Amino acid sequence: MAKAPVLTPQSEDFPRWYQDLINKAELADNGPVRGTMVIRPYGYGLWERMQQEMDARIKDAGAQNAYFPLFIPQSYLTREAEHVEGFAPELAVVTHGGGKELEEPVVVRPTSETIINDYFSKWIQSYRDLPLLINQWANVVRWEMRPRVFLRTTEFLWQEGHTAHATYEDARDYAAYIHKEVYADFMVNVLGIDVVLGRKTPRERFAGAINTLTLEGMMGDGKALQMGTSHELGTNFSKAFNTTYLSKDGRQELAWQTSWGSSTRMVGGLIMSHGDDNGLRVPPRLAAVQVVVMAIKGDEAVAKVREIGDRLKAAGLRVQVDDRTDTPFGRRAVDWELKGVPVRIEIGPRDLEAGTAMLARRIPGGKEPVRLDALAELLPAILEEDQAQLLRESRERRESRTTEVRTIEEASEAAVAGGWARIPWSTLGQEGEARLAEQAVSVRCLVAADGSVPEADDAPGTVAIVARAY
C-alpha cells in the first residue's frame, strides 16, 4: 500500500498544499483572534533575514529608522478624505481604555501616513530640513474579511517608509529608486522571484496617492501577488497636515511626499513561488540555514558533524548541526526537506571511514558523495547555482504562462485558466478594467511595451498585465 504524501499535491489542491506546508514546515499557526497569526521560529527566521537584507538597502537609500505610535487619533484619518475612505472598511477602532470611554476614539494603525505627517509638519521648517527620509519596522492592523496566513492577515509585520521632498521631481525619483533599487533588487536577487515592475491604474492606486508603483510576482498556480508598493503622494497629505517649508526664495511651499512598504506577505510569496510537493525551497541568499550537517548515527559521527559544522561556519556559511541521533534519520531528513534548507550534509560511520559525506541538494534535487575536506570550497558555488536556478524557474514560469491578447474576453480567459494576459491599455481602458473586476480578474499593473515602467497611465504603447490575484 502506497504511503500517503506528507503534503497535499499542488496539482490536486494548491490552497490546501499551501496550508499543509505552513503547518508541516512549522512556519506559523493561526492566532486566537480571527485573521491573526503566530509566526513560529523557523518562519520568523525567514522574516528576520528579509528584514536584514531590506534594512541594509533602505539605509543605503539614505533613510533612517524611527518608530511611531500604534494608536492614531481618529480625527487624523479624517483630514485626508480619500485616504480615510480607502481604509474605512479595514479600520480597528478603540473606544474604551482604562475602563472608561475615550474622549476621542483611536485607530489601530492601518498605515502611518497621517500620524507621521503630523510630526513632519513640526520637524520641517526650511528647505535645509529636506529631504526627510524615515522608515519604520512595525505591525499594522487591517480588519481582513478573508484571511490567509502570511498573505492576508488582520495584523501583519512590515516596513513603511515615509519621505518629504522639496520638489515633485525629487519625490518622484525617490519613489522610483525605492521601487527598483531597494524592492526589485531584493526580490530578484535575494528572493529569487522574477517580479514585474509596473504602475498601478487609478482604480488600484493607494488611497491618497497620485501614483503607485508595484512589484507583481507570479505564484506557482499562475495567480499574481503584489509583493511591495512605492507611492508618490504628491502634496495631498502636506495640504491636510500643513507640512510646509521655507524655500530658498523665502516662500512657504508644500512638501512633496512618498510612502512605500513591504510586509510578511513576502513570506507567502516565497512559499508559493518556490515550494514544491516536498515542501519549501529556500533561496540560499535568503536562507537562515543554508547548510544542515546531519549525523546519521553513532557517537563518532556526532563529534565529526560538530567539527564540520564549525569549519563551514568559519568559511562564512550559515550552518546548523543536527546531531539528534535519538530521532530516526529518515524523519529528520523529511523535516529538513519540508523546511527547504538548500543543502544537507549527511554523515554516518561508513562515510567517516571513507572520508566522505553525502551531499543532498534541495533545489535541483539529488545526492552525491563528496570529500569532507572539499566541502568548504564546493558549497559556495553550489549555493549560487541553486540561487540562479530558482530565479530562472520563476522567470520561465511567468514567460510561459503569459499570453498576448487583443480582447477583454481573451484576457479574462487567460486569467481564469491560471495565467497572465498582456493587453494594450488603450484597448482595455477603465471600462474594460471594471468589466474584468466583475469576474474577479484585475489589472495588476501597467507596463511599457519594452517592459519598463510607463511615466503616465496613458503613455503610448502602455500594456496592462491582467490576472487573478491573492
Phi, psi of 375 (to 5 degrees): -60, -50
pTM of the predicted structure, to 2 decimals:
0.95
Ordered per-residue pLDDT tens for the chain, 470 residues: 556 789 999 999 999 999 999 999 999 999 999 999 999 999 999 999 999 999 999 999 999 999 999 999 999 988 876 776 777 788 999 999 999 999 999 999 999 999 999 999 999 999 999 999 999 999 999 998 899 999 999 999 999 999 999 999 999 999 999 999 999 999 999 999 999 999 999 999 998 899 999 999 999 999 999 999 999 999 999 999 999 999 999 999 999 999 999 999 999 999 999 999 999 999 999 999 999 999 998 777 788 899 999 999 999 999 999 999 999 999 999 999 999 999 999 999 888 889 999 999 999 999 999 999 999 999 999 999 999 999 999 999 999 999 999 999 999 999 999 999 999 999 999 999 999 999 999 999 999 999 999 999 889 999 999 999 99
Cα–Cα dist 167/178, whole Å: 17
Cα–Cα dist 178/213, whole Å: 10
Concatenated DSSP letters for 201-228?
Answer: -TTTS-TT-SEEEEEEEE-TTS-EEEEE
Question: Would you tell me how many other CB atoms lie within 10 Å of the CB of residue 372?
Answer: 18
Cα–Cα dist 410/121, whole Å: 49
Cα–Cα dist 358/17, whole Å: 29
Q: Tell me how many degrees the CA angle 411-179-266 measures, rounded to the nearest 5.
A: 75
Q: Which amino acid is at 170?
A: D
Q: Which amino acid is at 403?
A: T
